[in-house]
């Protein structure tokens, strides 16, 4: 494999964004480091921030390791990332409005209708309904990896309810508490406006029928959900109510929340619940987590739901390959952030390439998740590769293939001291009346040496992410 890009050291020199961390890390005695690390862990444990990042499964009460070595971007690097992320969020929302409306992109032959309309996440019950401000995905989490100084790739988009933002906020909080000097010596862009921005974004998509200051709530599946901590954390920071399905009810044309002072009308619901569970009268009739009648109120303009039901069709793995096409089609622009090159095994010529290069590729099931139904060519035996080849040949349309990327590394505190570990980045783009995001995002780090897997279920941790001011 090609050597990977080290974000701090290049040609034995420290890259400028990390200059402020060179002395800090070199001068820190081992005992101080261990004490600080223990302090951080105790703090995380005490505030109860224990949960799995979206879709990873595993023990919901597991503590995700926190690494104190920050990950740093320059103002310039971030400016480009920010433009690319906003561009992508705009295109994804334009796509959603289109495929639930006239479907111009399908009619124009730029994306196959089958991929969209027969997709499990395509929700025909919202066809013809345009949500307020034309926004389906209000919080777009875009997973990005880096392979060189100016080389960034989008791994996947999360248009439903991406989680992990509480880790972004808590990691910063933790660093500021433990190393206040670092924040005096370096000009680091603040991120603490995220809850305000999120609240403003949600309020900006209140339905037209709302003629006062909108009442916003967060709808959670409950305390047994792996991201419950995050739900209550965000509700707290935004100053809005955290509710479960049973706290809400439909009366006539509106949704109300039960309060000690009587029913209160709700205008915007930030739901952290999958489409299938939000209304037993429209989706799964056995769901006890949702609000009966909610979809009728939503579709008649009585309440807003964020993300809008049906948004998931934009973040499907097979649809992902068409996002650059969406950017060209809807915005008339060239994509600023690249997709990872992807071969669709359903195409004869792509399949030929994949078959000839299986040993070098990562092959994924189109609708699979959590690492199931996946082949990592360079890490597989000949026999595993041949077994997987048979699976692909039996149903080529169900597989896509990508090159194994040499993910960048950043210095990370490990038992022996400081060593490079692979990282990714998930920024959270807010889409309402305006499109905005706080500088940075959640950096996940693969703590195991050589590992490319940043998932917390496989030994991943988190870091504070810095964007330096100009």
Partner 1 sequence: MLLSVDHVTHYRYDRPVRGVVQSHRLMPSRFDGQKVLDWSVTMTGGTMGSAFRDGAGDWVQGWTVAGPVDEIEVRVKGLVQTTDLAGILRGHREVVPPEAYLRDTDATAPDAALTELGQLIAAADSPLSGCHALSEAISAAIAYTPGTTRVQTTAAQALAQGQGVCQDHAQALIAAARVGGIPARYVSGYLQSGQDGMDHEAAHAWAELFVAGIGWIGFDPANECCPDARYIRLGSGLDAQDAAPIRGISRGSGAEILSVTVAVQTQEQ
Nearer to partner 1, 141 or 302 (CB): 302
Told to check if 314 binds partner 1 by CB under 8 A, we report: no
The H or E element containing residue 324 is helix 323-326
Contacts of 327 (CB under 8 A, 6+ apart): 87, 88, 91, 333, 334, 335
Q: How far apart are CA 429 and CA 201, in angstroms?
A: 10
Told to check if 8 binds partner 1 by CB under 8 A, we report: no
Told to check if 126 binds partner 1 by CB under 8 A, we report: yes
Told to check if 302 binds partner 1 by CB under 8 A, we report: yes
Q: What is the smallest separation between the CB atom of 272 and partner 1, expressed in angstroms?
A: 22
Told to check if 125 binds partner 1 by CB under 8 A, we report: yes
> Which of 101, 149, 222, 341 is in the footprint of partner 1 by CB under 8 A?
101
Nearer to partner 1, 44 or 100 (CB): 100
Q: How far apart are CA 413 and CA 33, in angstroms?
A: 9
Choices 153-161, 215-223, 294-302, 370-378; region in contact with partner 1 by CB under 8 A: 294-302
Four-CA torsion 282, 285, 291, 296, nearest 10 degrees: 20
Q: What is the smallest separation between the CB atom of 296 and partner 1, expressed in angstroms?
A: 4
E strand segments, 258-342: 264-266, 268-271, 304-306, 338-339
Told to check if 299 binds partner 1 by CB under 8 A, we report: yes
Residues 232-261: x where in contact with partner 1 by CB under 8 A, - otherwise, as a string: -----------------xxxxx--------
Told to check if 127 binds partner 1 by CB under 8 A, we report: yes
Choices 4-12, 117-125, 421-429, 439-447; region in contact with partner 1 by CB under 8 A: 117-125
Residue with token string 């692909």: 392
Contact, 256 vs 203, CB < 8 A? Answer: no
Four-CA torsion 175, 6, 84, 455, nearest 10 degrees: -60
Q: How far apart are CA 245 and CA 272, in angstroms?
A: 11
Number of residues that bind partner 1 (CB under 8 A): 35
Choices 75-83, 122-130, 150-158, 457-465; region in contact with partner 1 by CB under 8 A: 122-130
Contact, 51 vs 60, CB < 8 A? Answer: yes
Choices 16-24, 109-117, 223-231, 234-242; region in contact with partner 1 by CB under 8 A: 109-117
> Which of 29, 109, 150, 285 is in the footprint of partner 1 by CB under 8 A?
285
Told to check if 281 binds partner 1 by CB under 8 A, we report: yes
Q: How far apart are CA 81 and CA 337, in angstroms?
A: 7
Residue with token string 């077994």: 387
> Which of 26, 29, 124, 332 is in the footprint of partner 1 by CB under 8 A?
124
Told to check if 195 binds partner 1 by CB under 8 A, we report: no
Nearer to partner 1, 124 or 382 (CB): 124
Q: What is the smallest separation between the CB atom of 398 and partner 1, expressed in angstroms?
A: 16
Q: How far apart are CA 18 and CA 409, in angstroms?
A: 13
Nearer to partner 1, 152 or 298 (CB): 298
Nearest to 402 by CA among 360, 355, 366: 360
Q: What is the smallest separation between the CB atom of 106 and partner 1, expressed in angstroms?
A: 8
Q: What is the smallest separation between the CB atom of 293 and partner 1, expressed in angstroms?
A: 4
Residues 128-167: x where in contact with partner 1 by CB under 8 A, - otherwise, as a string: xx--------------------------------------
Nearer to partner 1, 207 or 377 (CB): 207
Nearer to partner 1, 252 or 450 (CB): 252
Told to check if 103 binds partner 1 by CB under 8 A, we report: yes
Question: Each residue of 365-402: b (16+ CB within 10 Å) or e?
Answer: bbeeeeeebebebeebeeeeeeebeeebeeebebbbbb
Q: Starting from the edge strand earliest in sequence, which strands make up the sheet with 304-306, in order?
A: 241-243, 216-219, 268-271, 304-306
> Which of 12, 118, 260, 349 is in the footprint of partner 1 by CB under 8 A?
118
275: left (phi over 0), alpha (psi -120 to 50) or beta: alpha
C-alpha angle 425/428/432, rounded to 5°?
Answer: 160
Nearest to 319 by CA among 95, 101, 86, 55: 95
Nearer to partner 1, 222 or 378 (CB): 222
Binding site for partner 1 (CB under 8 A): 100-103, 106, 113-114, 117-118, 120, 122, 124-129, 249-253, 280-282, 285, 292-293, 295-297, 299-302
């Amino acid at each position: 494999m090609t050597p990977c890009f080290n974000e701090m050291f290049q040609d034995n020199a420290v890259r400028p964004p990390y200059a402020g961390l060179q002395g800090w890390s070199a001068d820190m005695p081992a005992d101080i480091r261990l004490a600080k690390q223990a302090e951080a862990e105790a703090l995380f444990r005490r505030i109860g921030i224990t949960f799995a990042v979206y879709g990873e499964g595993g023990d919901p009460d597991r503590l995700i390791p926190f690494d104190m070595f920050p990950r740093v971007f320059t103002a310039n690097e971030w400016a480009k990332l920010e433009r690319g992320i906003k561009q992508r969020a705009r295109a994804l929302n334009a796509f959603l409005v289109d495929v639930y409306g006239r479907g111009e992109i399908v009619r124009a032959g730029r994306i196959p209708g089958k991929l969209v309309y027969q997709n499990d996440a395509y929700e025909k019950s919202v066809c013809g309904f345009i949500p307020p401000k034309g926004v389906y995905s209000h919080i777009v989490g875009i997973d990005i990896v880096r392979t060189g100084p100016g080389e960034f790739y989008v791994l996947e988009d999360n248009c439903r309810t991406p989680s992990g933002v509480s880790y972004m906020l808590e990691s910063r909080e933790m660093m500021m508490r433990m190393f206040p000097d670092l924040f005096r010596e370096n000009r680091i862009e603040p991120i603490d406006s995220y809850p305000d921005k999120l609240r403003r974004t949600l309020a900006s998509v209140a339905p037209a029928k709302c003629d006062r200051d909108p009442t916003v709530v967060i709808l959670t599946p409950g305390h047994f959900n792996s991201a419950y901590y995050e739900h209550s954390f965000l509700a707290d920071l935004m100053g809005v109510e955290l509710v479960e399905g049973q706290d809400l009810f439909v009366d006539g044309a509106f949704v109300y929340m039960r309060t000690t002072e009587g029913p209160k009308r709700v205008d915007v619901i930030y739901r952290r619940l999958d489409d299938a569970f939000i209304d037993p009268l429209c989706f799964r009739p056995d769901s006890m987590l949702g609000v009966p009648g909610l979809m009728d109120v939503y579709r008649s303009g009585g309440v807003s739901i964020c993300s809008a039901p049906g948004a998931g069709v934009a973040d499907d793995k097979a649809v992902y390959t068409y996002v650059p096409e969406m950017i060209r089609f809807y915005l008339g622009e060239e994509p600023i952030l690249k997709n990872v090159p992807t071969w669709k095994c359903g195409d004869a010529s792509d399949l030929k390439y994949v078959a000839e290069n299986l040993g070098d590729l990562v092959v994924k099931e189109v609708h699979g998740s959590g690492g199931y139904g996946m082949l990592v060519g360079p890490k597989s035996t000949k026999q595993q590769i041949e077994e997987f080849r048979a699976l692909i040949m039996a149903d080529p349309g169900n597989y896509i293939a990508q090159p194994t990327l040499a993910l960048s590394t950043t210095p990370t505190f490990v038992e022996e001291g400081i060593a490079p570990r692979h990282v990714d980045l998930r920024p959270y783009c807010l889409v309402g009346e305006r499109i905005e995001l706080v500088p940075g995002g959640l950096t996940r780090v693969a703590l195991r040496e050589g590992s490319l897997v940043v998932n917390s279920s496989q030994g991943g941790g988190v870091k504070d992410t810095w964007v330096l001011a100009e």
